[in-house]
A and B are shown apart, each in its own frame.
Chain A
């Protein structure tokens, strides 16, 4: 316990780490707020810069950026009706009407306080449940990890994008990209076409920066001429009565956020929408109707999306399965630093866990401070034209990719992924599953083969193992349900059941 407290406070006592977390949070708020710059993009670029640092420094900075970025999206949602991040879509529905009434400052203040509250709930859940889950995860077999990986990719593939087939394709493409290079088990080349350049594999940071950075920048080129709207800001610190009034709702929304965040593949965006829906259902007599500046509808999604941050760390640190795209990128960072996220992370490097909890807590407090200050400067920066932003993103992407291995080949990969990613996005494919596939692919491959070797190469035994062990059975049922829910059989059965009810 004392040791945990010691590791928890490392980030608080070291001035440099303190500075990094604070700077990360501040940067995150702006990155999250500027439409076109996403937290995922920022973390993937940042990771290439931080991989030569100490793990602690990198983690402190990333924790700050993550926390700040998820919150930052709400500011542009309120002020400009443009969600700076997908997790702020629901915020825009209520926040912008408030801004139109000249209550933008108050709305920002209220969102800040509620985001911080939500953040704390998520962190608390992380601190309490992660140790329990990771102990439980030690019982997991290799086939269970295979299933978890499949479920993770499937969830991201189904919840976003136009169709399940597109999500599945994107996930499989990612797995394929992750397979390139020498097979870690037999050292046979896979998809190397006999060249040495491909033997080391395709660096996933190049894929991440390409798909999230350059591709997004190219998409943004379409809306280059969208003019920014000016806004006035007056009152910022929210009324105590308001906080008291919405406290219960914020707590419920945070609960939703934490759970959604903890589910592999779902992050702040879905958490926010579900919490918004919950607020809509549970609020009987709102002061103003929903959609016209209802504060309940502002509080719930904002508390939920920040709670999802702590939640997303739970599966990542305990199972090595990212909770959302940002944690997928952070897993990449941990791998670069020679750490293996998974059930053994807590036993092998317990300091890392408590350090993460500590820096998230610190980032959350920084959020409160920065969230209530500097809004005037903020509006100026957000109005930065995209014509300036896009070239800057590209320069940062190029340097970020180059910095990983000082290898110019990587930047060509990055550009290729960027252009492919642009076309995928344009035609309704999501790029999130690709990155998840790249990161989870090799893990799934290794676990599949381990499970198959465990079954002595007999396909019957292999399949029987999936249903004869309790944990595997539960995961298999979950996987199959998710798969079936995407097929026409599901809607057909549901329609029939409904008919019977009526």
Chain B
């Protein structure tokens, strides 16, 4: 089908993963109560997972029919890394992961401060002093609005003795 847009890099793999996930979900749903009755807890999960399997078969067929991604600017894995998961995304996701790990350990204030500092610095690329002021300012604003005005309990760090 030439009228349809070409596949995005990695789309075929994603469609396959979607199918595998659907099948795994169906297997797990079957494990709940099997085909023992029509009102068992497992029947609706099985219907949903079955729907996923059928839909993903259609998606896979459709994706496979479309033209292969444009490889003039490098191989498929290379264009996947360029268009879908560039270094910037990988670094930001890595930063988020570090942030989430640090959150229960260092507490909201310290970990968010560090995350904002790192993320602003990486994405905005301005003078570190400007970044630091901005991170401190926005952190202060978030803290004021959510902790002081809305009385939300913010995570406290176990490492810092629950002080902040």
Contact = CB atoms under 8 A, between A and B. Distances in A.
Contacts of B41: 183, 185-186, 188, 190
Interface in A284-310: none
B56 A169 contact: yes
Contacts, number: 164
B32 A452 contact: no
A191 interface: yes
A385 to B, nearest CB: 7
A406 B48 CA distance: 30
Contact of A169 (B33, B43, B55, B124): B55
Given A415-B96, A457-B38, A426 B84 contact: yes
Interface string A369-408: 0000000000000000111101110111011001100101
A221 interface: yes
Nearest to A426: B84
Given A391-B119, A406-B153, A411-B100, 18 more contacts: A49-B152, A50-B150, A53-B150, A165-B56, A168-B54, A169-B18, A172-B51, A172-B52, A176-B48, A191-B32, A221-B92, A224-B123, A395-B115, A415-B96, A427-B11, A444-B44, A457-B39, A459-B38
Interface of B: 8, 10-11, 14-15, 18, 22, 25, 28-29, 32-33, 37-39, 41-45, 48-49, 51-52, 54-56, 58-59, 62, 84, 88-89, 92-93, 96-97, 99-100, 103-104, 108, 112, 115-116, 119-120, 123-125, 134, 138, 142, 146, 150-155
From DSSP, what is the main secondary structure of chain B's interface residues? helix
A163 interface: yes
Contacts of A392: 116, 138, 142
A187 B100 CA distance: 32
A165 B99 CA distance: 36
A448 B55 contact: no
A496 interface: no
A391 B49 CA distance: 35
Interface string A185-228: 11010110000000000000000000000100010010010000
Given A394-B99, A403-B153, A452 B38 contact: yes
16 contacts: A169-B52, A171-B51, A172-B48, A172-B49, A172-B52, A179-B48, A185-B41, A218-B92, A221-B89, A388-B120, A391-B115, A392-B142, A402-B108, A423-B14, A423-B84, A462-B38
Contact of B37 (A50, A166, A457): A457
B108 to A, nearest CB: 6
Contacts of B150: 49-50, 53
Contacts of B93: 218, 419
Contacts of B100: 398, 408, 411-412, 415
Interface residues of A, number: 61
Contacts of A467: none
B14 A449 contact: no
Nearest to A167: B55
Contact of B103 (A168, A169, A408, A462): A408
Given A190-B45, A427-B11, A172 B123 contact: no
A175 interface: yes
A225 B18 CA distance: 32
A427 B14 contact: yes
Contact of A165 (B29, B38, B58): B58
Contacts of A412: 100
A233 interface: no
A490 to B, nearest CB: 15
A171 B50 CA distance: 12
A406 B154 CA distance: 8
A236 to B, nearest CB: 28
